[in-house]
């Protein structure tokens, strides 16, 4: 963020609460997708890591391991060019037929809902799922589109000047945590 600096404000989750939240999410997801064959699709990059972790937890519970896809929504965004730096296009890989499946769409933070809107458009270009459920680790409120999560790890109240980051070891972070930062102008 040019001219802005992030100041740490509050830690929402540490490694242990994050771990417990993922367990609760799997527990809540199981009945939602019990009726059909399911798959996990994580949104790049945070959601992709979380989807991989959820997949492992399905297996650890002795449940069938759903196939895993990753989705980059850059090409579907409605704000691709709005004053942002050149948007980076990350890898998209949904290596299975999604038509007829129960898709569990996974993201780290649910905020305005615009990312999810884009992800839904991207998903339907791959096929016609039987249903799509949304699982997010953190719902920080402040929705701009009428979108809600089916499964949430934590719900917190935030203001627009704040930014919420899920920091995972897969991203090179030493400590796993979820943090609220305040964006301050330099």
Partner 1 sequence: MTTRMNHLLGLEGVSREQIQTILDLGREFKAVGQRRIKKVPTLRGITVVLMFIEPSTRTRMSFEVAAKRLSADTLAFTASTSALSKGETLLDTTQNIMAMKPDVIVLRHAFSGAPHFLAKNVDAAVVNAGDGQHEHPTQALLDMFTMQEKKGSLEGLEVAIVGDIRHSRVALSNLWGLTTMGAKVRVAGPRTMLPPFLDRFGPSVTVHDRIEPAIEGADVVMMLRIQKERMGKDLFPSDREYARFFGLDDVKLRLAKPDAIVMHPGPMNRGVEITPEVADGGRSVILEQVENGVAVRMAVLYLLSAHLLEGA
Residues contributing to the site for partner 1 (CB under 8 A): 72, 74-76, 80-87, 89-93, 121-122, 125-127
Nearest distance, CB of residue 84 and partner 1, angstroms: 8
CB closer to partner 1 out of 23 and 121 = 121
How many other C-beta atoms can be found within 10 angstroms of the C-beta atom of residue 160?
9
CB distance 92 to 70 below 8 Å = yes
CB distance 185 to 168 below 8 Å = no
Nearest distance, CB of residue 78 and partner 1, angstroms: 9
Dist CA 14 CA 8 (whole Å): 14
Dist CA 30 CA 54 (whole Å): 11
CB closer to partner 1 out of 75 and 159 = 75
CB closer to partner 1 out of 34 and 124 = 124
Nearest distance, CB of residue 71 and partner 1, angstroms: 12
Q: At what angle do helices 46-60 and 15-32 cross, to 10 degrees?
A: 70
CB closer to partner 1 out of 62 and 95 = 95
Nearest distance, CB of residue 117 and partner 1, angstroms: 12
CB distance 69 to 56 below 8 Å = no
Cβ-based neighbours of 101, under 8 Å, separated by 6 or more = 36, 37, 38, 39, 127, 129, 130
CB closer to partner 1 out of 88 and 160 = 88
Nearest distance, CB of residue 42 and partner 1, angstroms: 17
């Amino acid at each position: 963020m040019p001219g802005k600096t992030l100041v740490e404000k509050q830690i929402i989750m540490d490694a242990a609460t994050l771990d417990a939240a993922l367990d609760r999410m799997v527990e809540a997801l199981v009945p939602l997708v019990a009726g059909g064959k399911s798959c996990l699709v994580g949104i790049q990059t945070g959601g992709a890591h979380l989807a991989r972790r959820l997949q492992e937890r399905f297996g650890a519970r002795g449940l069938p391991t759903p196939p895993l896809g990753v989705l980059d929504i850059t090409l579907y965004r409605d704000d691709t060019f709005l004053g942002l730096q050149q948007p980076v296009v990350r890898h998209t890989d949904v290596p299975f037929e999604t038509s007829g499946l129960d898709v569990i769409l996974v993201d780290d933070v649910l905020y305005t809902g615009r990312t999810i809107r884009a992800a839904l458009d991207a998903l339907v270009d791959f096929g016609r799922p039987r249903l799509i459920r949304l699982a997010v680790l953190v719902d920080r409120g402040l929705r701009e589109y009428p979108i809600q999560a089916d499964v949430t790890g934590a719900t917190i109240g935030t203001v627009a000047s704040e930014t919420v980051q899920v920091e995972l070891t897969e991203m090179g972070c030493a400590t796993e945590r979820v943090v609220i930062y305040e964006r301050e102008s330099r």
